[in-house]
Chain A
């Protein structure tokens, strides 16, 4: 039987100029939640972030790879334009559509950026396709992403 345990939610890998990580999930939904959390954690420890404002995200992409890029790009866009630092990520579904496209429905929640309390490290600026991997290893999903910083 499949085991329910993932090694960790996400882990950072070595990359000279940018931020690279692997995120894990027993389901695709959980892996997409964790990959979003990893992306925000490039910038800041999200542990103390409160979910004061919630944003609904619904996206369609032509492949799972593209869906990862589009999902994270959307979160970085909301972070920058809405000025919200996100700490909670809830993915309701990741599904393949009749036209073979992939769709994600989820919610991200966080609090308004406040430079006096939020001490940011590197700015996660964009999501790259470099070394992008969506794989299923044993019983869990592994999403590998490189973020431009």
Chain B
């Protein structure tokens, strides 16, 4: 359900570039250093909140911003940066901003294929989801099955997915199929507060709550045979998707460093239209210390998704009364969608090192890029675009055009269209669950209210979002997956 916001004035602000691209002119606000660029259809723009446009404009006030302040097709109101916001800053003259990453550092998605066909899974879907819900700690206050000590936590912070694999949660090829090999360089656990450690320790290996989920899906549509083959995907195949992040560790790290950076803004003479955009010059100790701690949280999140995937593989094997290997549950890819990364991009014909902030946006690197796993390099990086509980998810591949226009970024999901408060008023969890069951989608959640808050209708249609991505050339559709069962946190 699209919400009409009577935002006709949005069309007085933005300038149409083409059917799916709109510019927020630099003249819109006096503090803007570069124009904004929003990738949406006219219809989607009509339902966009004015404040989201303002947030795109606000980001362009940050020093050292390159080319444009970008908003992906799933953009909606965030705090500081919009959700779906992408901005790149010069590595020497720019800034690093925790608000451009968000509290759930390296919240992300991974997709795992199986050799199971939808017809084999359909009869046991309810049992499978129940088993997953039982084995994977989900929801607020859930207890992890593992406890790490301080030394182990340091290694999680430093090594990411590899730490988990070395502990027996998965195999070597899993690491190779994560963005950046499931690890970001430069992590320094000494920049992580004892509070963040206390929150992080008991939560490693938990899904969390809110929009985090574990979904079983099957591929019902293949758009690009060659790319699908490279990714090991085919029609009728069952896949599963894990969506979660760095849990309390990430939230505390963001809270701690946001506090420091908000106090250093004056010291560096930076003018901000929104305090949540607190930032510091890239080379300053404040920015670098945040980056070192952010890297710890990012690595924690990769380890977390790795552990959860491993336990899910075990549930599949147990449910199908076989071993993990015989179900060929290979990791297709794992992408971060709340992160800042030091990357090389071409700006005005010159190669530059930039801190690319992706807040509710994923990397989408093109064919031939050295950071795309060898196996996929001819095709481009797999881009994972999860839908909501009742709507399809998509796999796309990165393109050169995306590299040139969005710093190699695409959107991270469908994007909310309705607040949780409104959703709870409009839907009852039990009804939503029943309606989804009638569509063949089995849902398990801790509390029916969570199901209501995450009802399919509260999100933009994933197909609308993905079509804008595809038509604007940021990334190209490969396959579509439809949900069969969901475990919600």
A interface list, Cβ under 8 A from B: 12, 14-19, 43, 62, 65-66, 69-70, 73, 77, 80-81, 83, 113, 115, 118-123, 125-132, 146, 148-149
Contact = CB atoms under 8 A, between A and B. Distances in A.
17 contacts: A12-B421, A14-B422, A16-B77, A66-B263, A113-B141, A115-B446, A120-B447, A121-B453, A122-B209, A122-B420, A125-B210, A125-B251, A128-B79, A128-B276, A129-B258, A132-B275, A148-B102
Contact of B78 (A17, A19, A62): A17
B116 interface: no
A21 B210 CA distance: 19
B76 A16 contact: yes
A126 B251 contact: yes
Contacts of B195: 77, 81
B15 to A, nearest CB: 24
Contact of B208 (A70, A123, A131): A123
A114 B421 CA distance: 24
Interface in B348-375: none
B419 A14 contact: yes
A106 B69 CA distance: 42
A129 B276 contact: yes
Contacts of A121: 420, 424, 447, 449-450, 453
B418 A16 contact: yes
Contacts of B276: 128-130
Contacts of A80: 199, 248
Nearest to B420: A122
A138 to B, nearest CB: 25
Contacts of B77: 15-17
Contact of A125 (B103, B141, B198): B103
Given A80-B199, A120-B139, A131-B79, A73 B210 contact: no
Given A77-B199, A125-B104, A120 B140 contact: yes
A57 B210 CA distance: 28
A56 to B, nearest CB: 17
A118 to B, nearest CB: 8
B262 interface: yes
A83 B199 CA distance: 11
A24 to B, nearest CB: 19
B416 A81 contact: no
Contact of B447 (A66, A119, A126): A119
B252 interface: yes
A81 B255 contact: no
Contacts of A115: 139, 141-142, 446
Interface size class of B (residues with CB under 8 A): 35 or more
A15 to B, nearest CB: 6
Contacts of B449: 119, 121
B468 interface: no
A131 to B, nearest CB: 7
A137 B78 CA distance: 27
A130 B254 CA distance: 14
Given A120-B139, A130-B276, 20 more contacts: A15-B421, A16-B416, A17-B83, A19-B420, A69-B255, A115-B141, A120-B140, A120-B141, A120-B209, A125-B210, A126-B103, A128-B80, A128-B103, A129-B80, A129-B262, A129-B274, A130-B274, A132-B275, A148-B79, A149-B210
Contacts of A119: 447, 449
B418 to A, nearest CB: 7
Nearest to B78: A17
B271 to A, nearest CB: 15
B108 to A, nearest CB: 16
Interface string B268-283: 0000001110100000
Contacts of A12: 421
Contacts of A17: 76-78, 83, 416, 419
A30 B453 CA distance: 31
Contacts of A123: 140, 208-210
B318 interface: no
Given A120-B141, A123-B140, A132-B275, A62 B103 contact: no
Nearest to A121: B449
B259 interface: yes
Contacts of A149: 210, 420
A100 B247 CA distance: 35
A126 B276 CA distance: 12
Among A123, A127, A132, max chain B CB count under 10 A is at A123
B34 interface: no
B319 to A, nearest CB: 25
A102 B144 CA distance: 38
A127 B255 CA distance: 8
A65 B80 CA distance: 16
Contact of A14 (B139, B278, B421): B421
Contacts of B419: 14-17
Interface string B246-267: 0010011011001100110000
Among A16, A70, A123, A146, max chain B CB count under 10 A is at A16
Contacts of B102: 148
A73 B79 contact: no
Given A16-B419, A19-B420, A65-B275, A126 B263 contact: no
Nearest to A69: B259
Given A16-B76, A77-B199, A66 B262 contact: yes
Contacts of A132: 275
Nearest to B209: A123
B417 interface: yes
B188 interface: no
A12 B195 CA distance: 29
